């Protein structure tokens, strides 16, 4: 969702900020803006659409001699995408400018209070109350920083805020509550951003701000305070060793395709140094410090959203089958508001690619005082969720930029399997074969990718249907849900995922020649049952595309089209089937001329509830 970058230092601040915003483009946004301090005046540049538009505005403006700048990419929540609603927002005197991620929940109340005192508002946003409120406290006699703190104390909701003012030209002020913010410490320069990707090109030395902290930054200094106690905080400076700043598409036309093609490498990275098939060992360094506690866990609750929740559902089957651990997956947005009893022997496992999903963060916050062990399966190193959890296993999939999650799903499923095997500790007969198969999987993933042309042809054939059903059983059931999500977010086709066994309980009523079904029908003990479901669909003239295991000739007689995947163990079929589904969704979007990297209405990182 929204992105924030601020810079103070000797480089061209507007260039650093616009480059930073470009690195955050993948998060999804609809407008972009910049406030640049030039001498004693602040230049405001805002545009609807891409950061490239903002870059063009910068090129046309005279910003020479500028000292600092703050910028923002906005994903509309309060008010339509428009220049007026784009950030930065300012006080009426245009001396205090603010960018904001998150939502100010009590903005109406503050707005009315300020309006009663004569303040006028230009935008429909919640954010505009912040510069106006700071202005109010400045006019009450406070200096800029105390006025900022006083304003923060009036706010309810979630925020990462960055302030620039002509009142104190060399200073940036920032604050964080439930929305990420990281300070990059350079040599005679400082950069603050909502995501380390925006600053990694300039410095690897960072401080992750904590909730309730306020920071004042000049080009050479930074000072962090705890807002509640107004006491200085000794910051922990960390090194960004695992973050790759490469954000390009390489030779691929889209990030999504590039990321799908990274599947074999993703599998290698997720298992590297962790799987030792010859010795029959799974080593997970991230769980070592809680190994003892894990022995006493009798229930696992997985919390996640979207694709991560479907990976979690695959994980649920792993935990039950391989670790004998009662497990359930809950959508984080529902978990937060449920009143279920949770005991200390329950562990809560958050799965998140970005590590910044607001609902998943809230789910972890909810159990903060329950004494539950909090675990994470996270891709983004150093992200909020990675830092909130007691222990966890990184996915190591590298930055994922297309809105549609692809390689992250594959890494999440792999890591969840590793956790289940780690807990199983060699007790099940499947332990060794699974470890060996994990080593063979990258080549099998590459074999699926080599069928891209066939899948593309299939996608073109089905691209103009309005509805699609995805069905599967056991491990293929969450995969059916994921296939449907992928198709709907990339192609805007109505798609639903169902457990194949549920067909007769309702969905079969929808089937006719215009309603195709994607059947996940790889070899498994339940294959015959899935084949019966396919028969029932065909009997109602519903077109069927099947994913089947190489060598299954029989299925050709049942399905209209078949996409074969290499033979693998049932537990690992979701990985290969997901690659087929991802390619299918991608090529349907291509056939429909849609921007699958940034689908309408969606953002990569969903940082508001």
- What is the rounded distance in angstroms from the CA atom of residue 373 to the CA atom of residue 387? 14
Closest CA to 72 of 206, 223, 179: 179
Least separation, in Å, of the C-beta of 403 and ligand AGP? 5
On whether the CB atoms of residues 562 and 518 are closer than 8 A, the answer is: no
On whether the CB atoms of residues 181 and 194 are closer than 8 A, the answer is: yes
Q: Of residues 2, 372, 395, 522, which has the active-site annotation?
A: 2
Least separation, in Å, of the C-beta of 378 and ligand AGP? 8
Query: What mask, x for binding ligand AGP by CB under 6 A, covers residues 356 to 395?
Result: -x--x-----------------------------------
- What is the rounded distance in angstroms from the CA atom of residue 26 to the CA atom of residue 255? 9
**Residue nearest to ligand AGP according to CB distances in the complex:** 306
On whether the CB atoms of residues 74 and 46 are closer than 8 A, the answer is: no
User: Which position among 71, 186, 286, 306 is part of the footprint of ligand AGP (CB under 6 A)?
Assistant: 306
Other residues' Cβ atoms within 10 Å of the Cβ of residue 234: 6
DSSP helix/strand/coil, 125: coil
Question: Which of these ranges, 26-34, 347-355, 429-437, 461-469, lies near ligand AGP under the rule CB under 6 A?
Answer: 347-355
User: Which position among 353, 389, 524, 607 is part of the footprint of ligand AGP (CB under 6 A)?
Assistant: 353
Give kind and range of the element (H or E) at residue 472: strand 467-472
Least separation, in Å, of the C-beta of 228 and ligand AGP? 28
Question: Which of these ranges, 129-137, 267-275, 299-307, 453-461, lies near ligand AGP under the rule CB under 6 A?
Answer: 299-307
Is 2 noted as a catalytic residue in this protein? yes
Determine phi and psi for 344, rounding to 5 degrees: -65, -20
435 vs 578, which CB is nearer to ligand AGP? 578
552 vs 582, which CB is nearer to ligand AGP? 582
- What is the rounded distance in angstroms from the CA atom of residue 122 to the CA atom of residue 143? 25
Q: Which residues of 374-406 are buried (b: 16+ CB within 10 A; e: fewer)?
A: bbbbbbbbbbbbbbbbebbbbbbbbbbbbbbbb
Residue with tokens 């449907």: 484
Closest CA to 349 of 324, 316, 380: 316
Least separation, in Å, of the C-beta of 385 and ligand AGP? 8
Query: What mask, x for binding ligand AGP by CB under 6 A, covers residues 254 to 293?
Result: ----------------------------------------
Query: What mask, x for binding ligand AGP by CB under 6 A, covers residues 455 to 494?
Result: ----------------------------------x-----
Least separation, in Å, of the C-beta of 406 and ligand AGP? 8
Residue 214's DSSP bridge partners are: 175, 225
DSSP helix/strand/coil, 596: coil
- What is the rounded distance in angstroms from the CA atom of residue 261 to the CA atom of residue 343? 42
Query: What mask, x for binding ligand AGP by CB under 6 A, covers residues 397 to 436?
Result: ------xxx-------------------------------
Least separation, in Å, of the C-beta of 10 and ligand AGP? 35
User: Which position among 47, 95, 352, 568 is part of the footprint of ligand AGP (CB under 6 A)?
Assistant: 352
Q: Of residues 258, 366, 407, 604, which has the active-site annotation?
A: 604
Question: Which of these ranges, 286-294, 350-358, 415-423, 498-506, lies near ligand AGP under the rule CB under 6 A?
Answer: 350-358
404 vs 562, which CB is nearer to ligand AGP? 404
37 vs 403, which CB is nearer to ligand AGP? 403
420 vs 606, which CB is nearer to ligand AGP? 606
Query: What order of strands is seen across the sheet that includes strand 172-177?
Result: 89-90, 96-104, 157-165, 172-177, 213-217, 222-226, 231-232
Question: Which of these ranges, 32-40, 353-361, 446-454, 457-465, lies near ligand AGP under the rule CB under 6 A?
Answer: 353-361
Burial class (CB in 10 A: 0-12, 13-18, 19+), 429: exposed
Closest CA to 271 of 93, 490, 442, 458: 442
Least separation, in Å, of the C-beta of 397 and ligand AGP? 11
DSSP 290-309: GHHHHTT--EEEEEE-HHHH
# chain residues binding ligand AGP, by CB under 6 A: 14
On whether the CB atoms of residues 184 and 191 are closer than 8 A, the answer is: yes
Other residues' Cβ atoms within 10 Å of the Cβ of residue 557: 7
Query: What mask, x for binding ligand AGP by CB under 6 A, covers residues 159 to 198?
Result: ----------------------------------------
Q: Which residues of 71-101 are buried (b: 16+ CB within 10 A; e: fewer)?
A: bbbbbbeebeeeeebbbbbbbeeebbbbbbb
User: Which position among 133, 199, 305, 423 is part of the footprint of ligand AGP (CB under 6 A)?
Assistant: 305
Least separation, in Å, of the C-beta of 357 and ligand AGP? 3
461 vs 592, which CB is nearer to ligand AGP? 592
Who contacts 507 (Cβ-Cβ below 8 Å, separation ≥6)? 469, 496, 498
Is 305 noted as a catalytic residue in this protein? no
31 vs 360, which CB is nearer to ligand AGP? 360
Residue 101 sits in the site that holds ligand AGP (CB under 6 A): no
Token duo for residue 377: 């399966």
Question: Contact residues for ligand AGP (CB under 6 A)?
Answer: 305-308, 352-354, 357, 360, 403-405, 489, 606
Active site residues per annotation: 2, 604
């Amino acid at each position: 969702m929204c992105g924030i970058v601020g810079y103070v230092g000797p480089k061209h601040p507007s260039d650093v900020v616009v480059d930073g915003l470009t690195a955050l483009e993948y998060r999804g946004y609809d407008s972009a803006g910049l406030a640049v301090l030039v001498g004693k005046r602040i230049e405001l540049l805002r545009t609807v659409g891409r950061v490239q538009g903002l870059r063009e505005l910068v090129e046309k403006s005279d910003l020479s001699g500028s000292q600092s700048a703050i910028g923002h990419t906005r994903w509309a929540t309060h008010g339509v995408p428009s220049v007026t609603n784009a950030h930065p927002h300012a006080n009426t005197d245009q001396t205090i400018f603010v960018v904001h991620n998150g939502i100010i929940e009590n903005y109406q109340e503050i707005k009315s209070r300020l309006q009663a005192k004569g303040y006028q508002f230009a935008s429909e946003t919640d954010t505009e109350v912040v510069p106006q409120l700071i202005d109010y406290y400045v006019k009450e006699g406070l200096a800029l920083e105390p006025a900022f703190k006083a304003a923060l104390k009036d706010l309810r909701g979630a925020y990462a805020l960055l302030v620039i003012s002509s009142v104190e030209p060399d200073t940036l002020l920032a604050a964080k509550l439930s929305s990420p913010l990281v300070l990059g410490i350079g040599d005679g320069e400082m950069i603050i951003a909502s995501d380390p990707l925006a600053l990694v090109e300039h410095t690897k030395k960072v401080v992750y701000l904590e909730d309730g902290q306020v920071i004042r930054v000049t080009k050479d200094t930074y000072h962090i305070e705890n807002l509640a106690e107004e006491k200085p905080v000794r910051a922990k400076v960390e090194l960004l060793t695992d973050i790759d700043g490469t954000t390009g598409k390489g030779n691929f036309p889209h990030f999504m395709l590039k990321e799908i093609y990274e599947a074999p490498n993703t599998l290698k990275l997720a298992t590297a140094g962790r799987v030792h098939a010859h010795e029959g060992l799974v080593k997970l360094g991230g769980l070592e410090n809680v190994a003892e506690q894990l022995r006493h866990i009798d229930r696992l609750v997985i919390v996640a959203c979207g694709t991560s929740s479907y990976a979690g559902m695959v994980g649920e089957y792993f935990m039950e089958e391989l670790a004998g651990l009662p497990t359930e997956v809950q959508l984080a947005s529902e978990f937060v508001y449920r009143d279920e009893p949770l005991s200390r022997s329950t562990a809560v496992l958050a799965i998140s690619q970005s590590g910044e999903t607001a609902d998943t963060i809230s789910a972890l916050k909810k159990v903060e005082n329950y004494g539950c062990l909090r675990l994470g399966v996270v891709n983004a190193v150093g992200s909020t969720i990675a830092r909130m959890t007691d222990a966890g296993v990184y996915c190591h999939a590298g930055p994922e930029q297309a809105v549609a999650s692809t390689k992250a799903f594959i890494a999440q499923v792999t890591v969840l399997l590793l956790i289940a095997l780690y807990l199983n500790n060699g007790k099940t007969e499947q332990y060794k074969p699974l470890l060996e198969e994990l080593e063979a999987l990258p080549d099998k993933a590459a074999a699926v990718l080599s069928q891209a042309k066939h899948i593309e042809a299939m996608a073109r054939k089905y691209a103009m249907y309005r509805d699609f059903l995805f069905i599967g059983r056991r491990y293929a059931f969450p995969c059916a849900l994921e296939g449907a999500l992928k198709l709907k977010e990339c192609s805007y086709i109505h798609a639903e995922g169902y457990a194949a066994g549920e067909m007769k309980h309702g969905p079969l009523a929808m089937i006719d020649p215009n309603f195709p079904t994607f059947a996940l029908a790889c070899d498994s003990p339940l294959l015959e049952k899935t084949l019966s479901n396919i028969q029932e669909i065909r009997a109602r003239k519903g077109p069927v595309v099947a994913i089947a295991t190489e060598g299954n000739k029989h299925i050709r007689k049942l399905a209209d089209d078949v996409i074969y995947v290499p033979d693998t163990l049932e537990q690992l079929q979701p990985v290969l089937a997901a690659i087929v589904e991802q390619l299918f969704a991608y090529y349907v979007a291509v056939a429909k001329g849609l921007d699958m990297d940034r689908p309408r209405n969606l953002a990569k990182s969903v940082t508001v509830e």
